[in-house]
Amino acid sequence: MDRVIYSPMKYVQGEGAWQRLHEYAAALGQKGAYAVAGPHVLEHYWSDVEKGFKEANFPLHAHRFAGECSMNEINRIVNELREENCDVIIGIGGGKTLDTAKAVGFYANLPVIIAPSIASTDAPCSALSVIYTDEGAFESYLFLRNNPNVVLVDTAVIARSPVRMLVAGMGDALATYYEARACFNSGGRTTAGGRSSLSALAVARACRDSLFKNGLRAKLAAEAKTVSSALDDIVETNTYMSGIGFESGGLAAAHAIHNGLTVLPGVHHAMHGEKVSFGLLAQLVLENAPQDEFKQVLDFCREVGLPTNLAALGLTDVSDGDLMKAARAACAESETIHNMPFKVTPEAVFSAMRVADRLGS
């Protein structure tokens, strides 16, 4: 199996970066830009974005995101942008907004600029969109031809976003190294469609090290709504390093356990990265990782405020039967848990979640 590394063509991060969106759009297209934007962005940031396009005399059309990355929404936007004669797509907002923009670029065969308003996941850099029904139920994964042309992150915007989202992004990023390590050791297939590489593993390891160094100080800066050096580092960690690390390094048990837990209604209020952080604790138990390694991860979760037990995810007094349902779902044939360097059974996952819950409590 080949070693495969995916990444966006350009990654740009800094305070006020959104004010230069018009420059990157004009470098990719000639006719105009079509922006898929979230309501919060349109209300609070649109005038600053629009100003640059007006001054550059580059056409900009805005579409208010309807809330779900569904095929109906994607097709509607593809038809609208053709009517407007635009040749660059911009996704500006949260995760589903960005996934929609990436899917529109895929179907319209146009370049894409991604401008995340939060740093809660590593999705902005990936060549993947998660498709839902109009009602919000998961439908399918759309694997894209390539990663975004440009990912443009405005740290001033991230600093003003809810702190919980930044911390959840740390939870998602925290699993990156440990899952990439498992894939590297097993030779498992990554999201990029190949075998993990030394480069991807090195990025994943740097992702972990940055979290341990900067996580708490970044959270404190976010609580003060200010951009510090630590916050700047964590935004890059959550968005780029974790993005490269997961896509080219591979996923394993932590994300599979996250997926398994989603069959239980009690966890639906928890964010993606919050569930992943508990999934990582369970993965480390599953691996029988050294106690000092487990403690380092557990201490970090407690330090920044990530869930460390089932009750914190909303699963107070969860029954053995329900937890076994989650364990079986985590071990579905298509799940990434089979990238672990040993055979994993639902019974082993059930046990790992119970032990992780006790250790985390």
Q: Does domain 163-360 have CATH number 3.20.20.410?
A: no
C-alpha 93/C-alpha 41 separation (Å) is 6
DSSP type of residue 188: P
**Which region among 108-122, 126-140, 143-157, 228-242 has the lowest average model confidence (pLDDT)?**
126-140
- How confident is the model over 291-327, as pLDDT tens digits? 999 999 999 999 999 999 999 999 999 999 999 999 9
Query: In the chain, where does the domain assigned CATH 1.20.1090.10 lie?
Result: 163-360
| Residue 44 falls in the annotated catalytic set | no
DSSP string, 305-345: T---STGGGT-TT--HHHHHHHHHHHT-TTSGGGGSSS---
C-alpha 208/C-alpha 289 separation (Å) is 16
| Residue 258 falls in the annotated catalytic set | yes
Q: Is the confidence at residue 152, as pLDDT, over 70? A: yes
pLDDT of residue 223: 98
pLDDT of residue 137: 67
Query: In the chain, where does the domain assigned CATH 3.40.50.1970 lie?
Result: 10-159
Percentage of the chain beyond pLDDT 70 is: 100
The whole-angstrom distance between residue 329's C-alpha and the CA centroid of its chain comes to: 21
- How confident is the model over 47-106, as pLDDT tens digits? 999 999 999 999 999 999 988 899 999 999 999 988 888 999 999 999 899 999 999 999
Rounded average pLDDT over 208-226: 98
pLDDT of residue 139: 80
Q: Which residues contact 174 (CB under 8 A, 6 or more apart)?
A: 208, 211, 273, 276, 277, 280, 297, 300, 301, 306
- How confident is the model over 254-278, as pLDDT tens digits? 999 999 998 898 888 899 899 999 9
Q: How far is CA 335 from CA 293, 305, 339, in A?
A: 25, 28, 8
Q: Is the confidence at residue 130, as pLDDT, over 90? A: no
Q: Which residue has the higher pLDDT, 350 or 269?
A: 350
| Residue 268 falls in the annotated catalytic set | no
pLDDT of residue 113: 98
Question: One-letter amino acid identity for 270?
Answer: A
Rounded average pLDDT over 239-256: 95
Which CATH number is correct for 10-159, 3.40.50.1970, 3.40.1010.10, 1.10.260.40, 3.40.630.30?
Answer: 3.40.50.1970
Rounded average pLDDT over 221-238: 97
| Residue 233 falls in the annotated catalytic set | no
Percentage of the chain beyond pLDDT 90 is: 87
Q: Is the confidence at residue 133, as pLDDT, over 90? A: no
Average pLDDT across the chain, whole number: 94
The DSSP element (H or E) to which 238 belongs, if any, is none
Which of 154, 172, 233, 357 is catalytic? The answer is 172
